[in-house]
Amino acid sequence: MGKHLHLKLLSALEADGLGIKHSQGWYPFIAFANAPEIIESETKMALKKLIAGNWKMNGSRAALAEVTAISVAASAIGHVESALAVPATLIAPAFAAAPGFSIGAQDCHWNDAGAHTGCLSPGMIKEAGASFVIVGHSERRTDNHETSAEVAKKADAAIQAGLLAIVCVGETDAERDAGKAVAIVTGQVRDSLPGSANGDQLAIAYEPVWAIGTGRTASAADVAEMHGAIRSELVQQMGDVGHKVRILYGGSVKASNAAELLHIPDVDGALVGGASLKADDFIPIIKAAIA
């Protein structure tokens, strides 16, 4: 039961004079309370958290033992999803080393096939064993000059191929200092969204550029403000589906700060770089997602 729904129900019932004070046994009374409002708020129920690791350009076959260790430990942790985006060369061996665990890619092209030297299509990475792909990471937006329009095409193609698309957004230090962080990030969300998606096909990762690999994390208040703004933008663009799209936080997430970050409203998971490389660092983050 989402906390939001619970509180709404309680206040609706109390307003109607029913005064029921516990969370069990009031479903039969919904019809007598403020039902449309309650049904509307049900779309805001807590989403199952997703903790995804991004190995970036790290890892060789020698690191497959960590993939196995992470998948074995993660399978024993209920109520949270976990995943690892490995370098493309490791997708197939990681998939083999961790049966049933969600392995992903860090980029894809938007075309199915063709003259795009060095690129991989969503179908190719899916065939290799990927179930998701990260698109629009700030390192690619910077290093490869990727635009939000291209990111949207990649997300679209990934979803068409049956992959979960994790779309990354985030402001630079200078943009935050100039007071433009929310406008920049919500603009990136708007321009990077695929044409259509349901809640299982799309996630957004908010990663402030200045927090990536620096040991600095955004304050809880800044994360809450940004995730709330991203949620509003998603609902504006996608309607009710926008309530079901998970919004992950990324940027120097580690065991010591994960619990605080993961319990901020509208933080539905994390995208973890450096601390996802070793099971000993990553598993405590997955555990921190459990309420």
Instruction: Closer to ligand 13P by CB, 54 or 186: give it.
Output: 54
Q: Which residue type is seen at 257?
A: N
Between CA 211 and CA 191 the distance in angstroms is 22
Shortest Å distance, C-beta 257 to ligand 13P: 10
CA angle, residues 148, 197, 262, in degrees to nearest 5:
80
Token couple for 115:
């003259």
* CA-to-CA dists, residue 34 to 7, 16, 56, 211, angstroms: 12, 8, 49, 43
Helices (H), 136-254: 138-143, 148-160, 173-177, 181-192, 220-238
**Site residues (CB under 6 A) for ligand 13P, limited to 135-164:** 137
Instruction: Closer to ligand 13P by CB, 5 or 230: give it.
Output: 230
Torsion of CA 62, 66, 72, 73, to 10 degrees: 170
Shortest Å distance, C-beta 267 to ligand 13P: 15
Instruction: Closer to ligand 13P by CB, 9 or 164: give it.
Output: 164
Which residues have a Cβ under 8 Å from the Cβ of 196 and sit 6 or more positions away?
Answer: 159
Residue 220's CB is within 10 A of a number of other CB atoms, namely 14
Q: Strands (DSSP E) along the chain, which ranges?
A: 49-54, 80-85, 102-105, 132-135, 164-169, 202-206, 246-250, 269-272
Instruction: Closer to ligand 13P by CB, 93 or 274: give it.
Output: 274
Instruction: Closer to ligand 13P by CB, 110 or 249: give it.
Output: 249
Shortest Å distance, C-beta 146 to ligand 13P: 14
CA contacts within 13 A on the Cβ side of 122: 23
**Site residues (CB under 6 A) for ligand 13P, limited to 78-137:** 137
> Which residue of this chain has its Cβ atom nearest to ligand 13P in the complex?
273
Residues in binding contact with ligand 13P, number by CB under 6 A = 14
- The region of 18-26, 75-83, 119-127, 250-258 touching ligand 13P under the rule CB under 6 A is 250-258
**Site residues (CB under 6 A) for ligand 13P, limited to 251-290:** 251-253, 271-275
Q: Residues 39-58: x/- map of binding to ligand 13P (CB under 6 A)?
A: ---------------x----
Instruction: Closer to ligand 13P by CB, 123 or 273: give it.
Output: 273
Residue selected from 93, 104, 122, 250 as contacting ligand 13P according to rule CB under 6 A: 250
Shortest Å distance, C-beta 30 to ligand 13P: 41
Kindly list the catalytic residues.
Answer: 137, 207
**Site residues (CB under 6 A) for ligand 13P, limited to 197-236:** 207, 212-213
Inter-residue contact 203 to 230 (CB < 8 Å): no
Shortest Å distance, C-beta 57 to ligand 13P: 12
The residues that touch ligand 13P, with contacts defined as CB under 6 A, are 54, 137, 207, 212-213, 250-253, 271-275
